[in-house]
A and B are shown apart, each in its own frame.
Chain A
Amino acid sequence: MSFLEVRNLTVAYGAIQAVRGVTFSVERGQIVSLIGSNGAGKTTTLRTISGLLRPVTGEILLDGKPIHRLPAHEILGLGVSHSPEGRRLFARMTVEENLRLGAYSRHDEAGIVADLDRIYDMFPVLGQRRRNKAGLFSGGEQQMLAIGRALMSQPKLLMLDEPSMGLSPIMTQQIFTTVQELREEGTTVLLVEQNALSALALSDHGYVIDLGRTTLSGTGRELLADPRVQEAYLGEGVTG
């Protein structure tokens, strides 16, 4: 039984169907990527898994149990954490307040403090400026904070939506290295990326979503080598 299973998901915003048949699964301890062009339905898929949107049809199973009728705050309680597209930090709150909001569902103050220290070790710049307002940070630093905030709930499944968006190549590399380290610590990661090359390179498994449907799947390596993927998402630079 897969850790997360999404079956035949369709989601609509009013009359517009953004997702029209997405099926994939995530195994425990894996990094899985959803790739695809802008507007393919990747973000909508994540928002539906985390309970912000309701599917029209289809199922989402976590550990075999359906979660697609639960409110978002209960889904978080089951160990699914979602760092949304565009980071969406609480800009007028401090770094520490943002991180503490990530731990809102927890009541073990000692554990929360230990995890704050862990995040500050992982991203020292956040520790040095923990009393500064989140809105004052650079894009890369904000992404670190967004990931840190999502980790504060001690998730079993971490969903990251476009963590490389707007970041320099060096910063992107650093974020992806962090993602790999998290997997090594046992966190399952579901990654949505437009930066398909970097995402697939570190993924155990990948799915291509096109026009609201999953069209291809395979290991990260297989998809990187697939001519259809190369043509559509990787650009000419990588094929040679």
Chain B
Amino acid sequence: MLSTLLSQIVNGLVTGALIGLIALGYTMVYGIIQLINFAHGEIFMIGSYGGLAMFTYLLPTAIQNQWYFALPLLLIAGAAVSVGVAVLMERFAYRPLRNAPRLAPLITALGVSVALQEAVRVFYPGATAALPFPKAFVEGTWEIPVPGGTVPLRWTGLLIIVVALVLTFALNTFVNNSRMGRAMRATSQDRDVARLMGIDPDRVIVLTFVLGAALAGVAGVLNGVDLGFTNIDLGFQNGIFAFTAAVLGGIGSIKGAVAGGFAIGLVKALGGQYLPGGTAYDYVWIFVVLIAVLVFRPQGFFGETERVRA
């Protein structure tokens, strides 16, 4: 009994860490330009195809089986492809709409989302169905001993948790302590005054997309390694969860995105185990929690009552 509960908590933490990594991109972009970038889930999905392409077409066979060489290269490729697509998306889809009514970029984001998914389906060889993803890490599980049994934690799951925590810590340090991080916070608090400080908002906005996309690309590769496959619809599913996590945590807040990610991961795992209907009702429980939180605390866990920020 206890080991079942703990197993589900472990599962929830792995899922939550992954969702949190994606949620950071939603929350940062919202903090700077008040746009829910619905295409961000696709940036995550494209990262996994970036990693897969690196493995399939560029890595010499000799290295393919040595995960400690392969994994870093996959992560770099995934992040690079995600960043590249995000920079193009910002430049050509969102920047021209900078002064348009807020609905215009929002609808554009939905369009970009569909366009990216279809682009991968059409142009990536074999992407019309799920593709096997290399298990570029230690396989198997760590059986954590607990009273009355053991709790399994996949090594790839542990990897996701560790990478997510390290990257979140790095991001938080960057935003709070670096000159560019200060410029990001200034731009999110008052864009006109940021301009008076000599900050070029366009540069800050691009940087925000770059950071969010890099995290999403890394998440995409890690998810592929953990699942053993990737598919073009993974962006939509995880994007919805991550967006919900960002709202739950308080959109605009970095720690909120991570906390929201873990909250959703845990609801998903524990709801699937203990609530009637099982895993088929994932979305139901997640959105019930979201609605409940928004009713009693509309700004989310860490959000502020006014406009919120990174």
Indicate if A124 sits at the interface (CB-CB under 8 A).
no
Contacts of B192 in A (CB 8 A): 52, 72, 84, 88
Interface of B is mostly: helix
Indicate if A66 sits at the interface (CB-CB under 8 A).
no
Category for how many chain A residues contact B: 20 to 34
Contact yes or no, B198 A73, CB < 8 A: yes
Contact yes or no, B196 A84, CB < 8 A: yes
Interface of A is mostly: loop
Contact yes or no, B309 A97, CB < 8 A: no
Say which one of A19-27, A36-44, A100-108, A213-221 lies at the interface with B. A100-108
B 151-190 contacts with A by CB, 8 A? 179, 182-183, 185-186, 189-190
A 149-198 contacts with B by CB, 8 A? 149, 153
Q: Given A52-B192, A90-B185, A104 and B198 touching (CB < 8 A)?
A: yes
Contact yes or no, A93 B186, CB < 8 A: yes
Question: How far is the CB of B266 from the nearest CB of chain A, in Å?
Answer: 30
B 183-209 contacts with A by CB, 8 A? 183, 185-186, 189-190, 192-200
Cα-based distance from A149 to B193 in the complex (angstroms): 11
Contact yes or no, A88 B186, CB < 8 A: no
A 57-90 contacts with B by CB, 8 A? 71-73, 76-77, 81-82, 84, 88, 90
Q: Given A52-B192, A90-B189, A92-B309, A76 and B182 touching (CB < 8 A)?
A: no
Contacts of B193 in A (CB 8 A): 84, 88, 90
Cα-based distance from A208 to B200 in the complex (angstroms): 33
Contacts of A104 in B (CB 8 A): 179, 182-183, 186, 197-199
Indicate if A55 sits at the interface (CB-CB under 8 A).
no
Residue on B nearest A77 in the bound complex, by CB: B198
Cα-based distance from A31 to B195 in the complex (angstroms): 24
Residue on B nearest A81 in the bound complex, by CB: B196
Contact yes or no, B196 A72, CB < 8 A: yes
Contact yes or no, B195 A51, CB < 8 A: yes
Question: How far is the CB of B255 from the nearest CB of chain A, in Å?
Answer: 14
Indicate if A50 sits at the interface (CB-CB under 8 A).
yes
Indicate if A113 sits at the interface (CB-CB under 8 A).
no
Question: How far is the CB of A109 from the nearest CB of chain B, in Å?
Answer: 10
Cα-based distance from A93 to B188 in the complex (angstroms): 12
Indicate if A91 sits at the interface (CB-CB under 8 A).
yes
Question: How far is the CB of A107 from the nearest CB of chain B, in Å?
Answer: 9
Contacts of B195 in A (CB 8 A): 51-52, 71-73
Contacts of B189 in A (CB 8 A): 90-93
Contact yes or no, B190 A73, CB < 8 A: no
Contacts of B179 in A (CB 8 A): 100, 104
Contact yes or no, B198 A105, CB < 8 A: yes
- 8 smallest CB-CB distances across A and B, nearest first, come from A105-B198, A72-B195, A76-B198, A88-B193, A73-B198, A104-B197, A73-B200, A101-B197
Given contacts A51-B195, A71-B200, 11 further A-B contacts (CB under 8 A): A52-B196, A72-B192, A76-B197, A84-B193, A90-B189, A93-B182, A93-B186, A102-B197, A104-B183, A105-B197, A153-B197
Q: List 21 A-B contacts (CB under 8 A).
A: A52-B192, A71-B200, A72-B192, A72-B195, A72-B196, A73-B199, A76-B198, A84-B192, A84-B196, A88-B192, A90-B190, A92-B185, A93-B182, A93-B185, A93-B186, A93-B189, A102-B197, A104-B179, A104-B182, A105-B198, A153-B198
